[in-house]
Amino acid sequence: MIRSILALLLLVLLAACGGNGAAGDQTATQPSAAASVAAASVAATSSAEQTTIAPSAAASEATASEAATATGAEAANTLTIMSHDSFNLSEDVVAEFEQANNVKIQFLKAGDTGAALNRALLTKANPLADVFFGVDNTFLSRALDADAFETYAPQGLDQIPVELKLDPQNRLIPIDYGFVNLNYDKASDLFKNMADPENMRLEDLTQPQFKGKVVVLNPASSSPGLAFMLATVEYFGQDKWLDWWRQMRENEVVVVDGWETGYYTNFSGSSGKGPQSVVVSYATSPAAEVAFSEGKLQEPPTGNILPPKGSFRQIEFAGIL
């Protein structure tokens, strides 16, 4: 019974999130060998850091307590979804699913994607949740190598485009995709007199006027941060991408742990009105600003910076723990 309900839950995730693809090149190529090597290096470094740090007694007790809570919730016919902090489902979708299947959905948000995935992998012997949502193609190999997810092919899997199905064993099912790229604040003095900010080159961000005005996300903990790093590998090539990052560091680029901090705290174009005018986000973020303004906005206050090869197609997956 529980397996059937989990399969239905995956279908709900597919239906609720499947339309999130950003406008643009729907057949964007996968990362090159150089980008894959860079991703593997970052993932391996982060994974090594996670496995060499033994949890403290307090952390172990907290994990045991969380596991006990999750076990009790399961006994009470509760399904727990672990995810990154940015994940949300419509209340109507949740209510409909709960009523149709006589279950209660509990959401366990566990930080940005890297942090959430590490938490799931560290507790895989006694999972804190039934389903994990939010593994993307930058963290996919780490998730699969840990052998933490069950093999299962839900109904409707055959309707998903082949290029989005990256796990032949169907341990992680593709749910949605979009494009990670730079967003800019249209109201910033840096862009008011610029003819075509959308076609800016990444090289332009190393100029003095952008000193301290760009915020990016830590690729070791943030999936869009890692996705953007891979985009820079594609853009500059294996021999030159690190040179660009060195120049950005000299130009006082700001690095934060996760997307929510970068976008809602540091970015001047968001509600946080922070000090940075350029942020790593999504091609759909400008449209989302209008959609979630409850009618207050007719035009987005932000725009996309989309040089050729300057974005990365991010695919998000869900799986049974």
Contact 219, 225 (CB under 8 A): yes
* Fold topology of 178-314: D-Maltodextrin-Binding Protein; domain 2 (3.40.190)
Question: Where in the chain are the domains?
Answer: 2-21+46-177, 178-314
As given in the structure block, the two tokens for residue 80 are 């727990």
- Each residue's pLDDT, cut to its tens digit, for the chain (321 residues) gives 455 555 555 555 555 554 444 333 333 334 443 444 344 334 333 333 332 233 344 444 445 455 455 555 444 588 999 998 888 788 898 899 889 888 899 999 988 888 889 899 998 999 999 999 989 998 899 999 999 999 988 888 999 999 999 999 999 999 989 999 999 999 999 998 898 999 999 999 999 999 999 999 999 888 899 999 999 999 999 999 999 999 999 999 999 998 999 999 999 999 889 999 999 999 999 999 999 898 999 999 999 999 999 999 999 999 999
**Same fold? 2-21+46-177, 178-314:** yes
Query: Side-chain half-sphere of 57: how many Cα atoms within 13 Å?
Result: 0
Contact 172, 144 (CB under 8 A): yes
Q: Which of 194, 195, 262, 266 is nearest to 228 (CA)?
A: 262
Q: How far apart are the C-alpha atoms of 287 and 193, rounded to whole Å?
A: 22
Check residue 9 and give its pLDDT: 58
Q: How far apart are the C-alpha atoms of 9 and 144, rounded to whole Å?
A: 21
Check residue 76 and give its pLDDT: 56
Q: How far apart are the C-alpha atoms of 139 and 118, rounded to whole Å?
A: 10
Q: How far apart are the C-alpha atoms of 62 and 68, rounded to whole Å?
A: 10
Q: Is the pTM of this model over 0.85?
A: no
Q: How far apart are the C-alpha atoms of 10 and 105, rounded to whole Å?
A: 13
Output the CATH code of domain 2-21+46-177.
3.40.190
| Cα angle 289, 290, 296; round to 5 | 115
Residue 74's SS3 state is helix
